[in-house]
């Protein structure tokens, strides 16, 4: 039997855990009767893309990303329209693509998924010609992505802290959306274009999104009151967001968005400056991906546990009770550290 060639690319500085432990696991778990492999490490921003292009040109069967969503994006963009498959051993702060595809968060189990080498040809998207694989968007989620990018702390705790702190300050914008010549105007808190179902951390902005249907799931979140915020947060994490009256959603292949002022957008959580004209499109069946067909996705359990606190927070927000909000933040951090 001819062995398959796999390259493992480690980003030593991304994510929230030690990657060298994963490097030591690979020879213990990977089926060396079926695979030859190399382990390489990135040294600068963009290095993962350059390394991946070399491996793809050499005809490697798969390149595995060991890092966060940014590392996954760097590697995936070099594999689109090639025969080389993308694999993921997730160790980032959000792990949106891995979670959507049911890839285990535990490294040993993720390596076992690679051993099975179950592959599917999937879609990806572009925002102003920049590739994304999970979600892109503008408005509040891009605003928070920019804040998170400059945060010294990583992980869900930092992301949630930024979201809770900045949410009260953010002012919605007005957008003109054009789909196949039909234009609509929306005042929106955020607009997300999803190829996959979630941002990461089981935050399902587009619960029914598929990476193999050739369509984007567009979610428009209209402005809401502080009393409505806890319910929206709860629905985001229990996959019922589309039941909310503040949510508008539709599917399309291409979308053009005009806004009055230039600002930030994000692609897979990475912020990027953009102008007033934004084009988003989906490219069908262009990326080979190693997937997991044997595991159910996890549920955002902590947010069910925090529902009572979310409800009481709405009252605090209404009364601008900053001390209560601070207590709520601490409770969230304590629960998430379990």
What pLDDT is recorded for position 330?
Answer: 59
Q: Identify the CATH class of 130-284.
A: mainly beta
Among positive and negative, which fits the CA dihedral 45, 49, 52, 57?
negative
**Burial status of residue 337 (CB atoms within 10 A of its CB: 0-12, 13-18, 19 or more):** exposed
What pLDDT is recorded for position 331?
Answer: 60
**Tokens coding 129:** 């010609």
What pLDDT is recorded for position 141?
Answer: 85
Task: Report d(CA 316, CA 320) in Å as an integer.
Answer: 6
Among positive and negative, which fits the CA dihedral 98, 99, 103, 109?
positive
Task: Report d(CA 221, CA 186) in Å as an integer.
Answer: 9
Show me where the domains of the chain are located.
4-117, 130-284
Q: What is the pTM for the complete model shown?
A: 0.82
Strand order in the sheet with 190-194: 247-252, 216-221, 190-194, 135-139, 263-267, 270-274
What pLDDT is recorded for position 312?
Answer: 53
What pLDDT is recorded for position 227?
Answer: 82
Crossing angle for the helix pair 156-166 and 322-336, nearest 10 degrees?
160
What pLDDT is recorded for position 329?
Answer: 57
> Which 3 state secondary structure label does DSSP give 274?
strand
| Residues linked to residue 287 through DSSP beta bridges, in sequence order | 122
What pLDDT is recorded for position 152?
Answer: 54
Architecture of domain 4-117: 3-Layer(aba) Sandwich (3.40)
Tens-binned pLDDT, residue by residue, of the chain (338 aa): 799 999 999 998 876 667 889 999 999 999 999 999 999 999 999 999 999 999 999 999 999 999 989 999 999 999 999 999 999 999 988 899 999 999 999 999 999 999 999 999 999 999 999 999 999 999 988 887 766 555 555 555 445 555 555 556 778 899 999 998 899 999 999 999 999 999 988 999 999 999 999 999 999 999 988 788 888 888 998 999 999 999 999 999 999 999 988 999 999 989 999 999 999 999 999 999 999 987 654 444 444 445 455 545 555 555 555 555 556 555 655 554 45
Pick from 86, 109, 107: nearest CA to 18: 107
Pick from 292, 328, 287: nearest CA to 52: 287
C-beta of residue 300 within 8 angstroms of C-beta of residue 237? yes
**CB within 8 Å of 208: residues ≥ 6 apart:** 197, 217, 242
Residue 320 to residues 170, 324, 327, 331, Cα–Cα distance (Å): 15, 9, 13, 18
């Amino acid at each position: 039997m001819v062995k398959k060639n796999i390259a493992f690319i480690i980003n030593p500085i991304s994510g929230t855990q030690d990657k060298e432990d994963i490097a030591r696991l690979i020879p213990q778990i990977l089926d060396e009767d079926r695979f030859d492999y190399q382990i390489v490490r990135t040294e600068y921003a963009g290095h993962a893309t350059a390394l991946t292009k070399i491996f793809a040109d050499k005809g490697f069967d798969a390149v595995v990303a060991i890092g966060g969503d940014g590392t996954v994006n760097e590697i995936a963009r070099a594999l689109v329209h090639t025969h080389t498959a993308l694999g993921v051993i997730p160790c980032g702060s959000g792990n949106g693509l891995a979670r959507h595809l049911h890839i285990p968060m535990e490294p040993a189990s993720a390596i076992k998924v690679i051993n099975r080498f179950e592959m599917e040809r999937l879609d990806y998207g572009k925002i102003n010609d920049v590739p994304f694989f999970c979600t892109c968007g503008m408005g509040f989620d891009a605003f928070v992505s920019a804040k998170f990018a400059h945060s010294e702390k990583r992980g869900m705790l930092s992301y949630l802290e930024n979201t809770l702190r900045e949410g009260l300050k953010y002012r919605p914008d007005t957008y003109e959306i054009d789909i196949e010549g039909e234009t609509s105007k929306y005042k929106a808190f955020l607009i997300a274009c999803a190829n996959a179902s979630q941002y990461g951390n089981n935050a399902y902005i587009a619960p029914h999104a598929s990476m193999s249907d050739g369509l984007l799931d567009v979610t428009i979140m209209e402005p809401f009151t502080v009393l409505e915020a806890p319910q929206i947060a709860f629905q985001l994490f229990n996959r019922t967001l589309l039941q909310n009256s503040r949510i508008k959603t539709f599917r399309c292949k291409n979308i053009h968005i005009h806004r009055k002022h230039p600002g930030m957008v994000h692609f897979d959580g990475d912020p990027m400056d953009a102008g007033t004209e934004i084009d988003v499109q989906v490219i069908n069946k262009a990326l080979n991906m190693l997937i997991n067909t044997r595991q159910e996705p996890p549920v955002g359990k902590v947010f069910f546990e925090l529902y009572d606190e979310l409800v009481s927070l709405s009252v605090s927000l209404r009364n601008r009770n900053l001390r209560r909000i601070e207590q709520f933040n601490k409770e969230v951090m304590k629960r998430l550290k379990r």
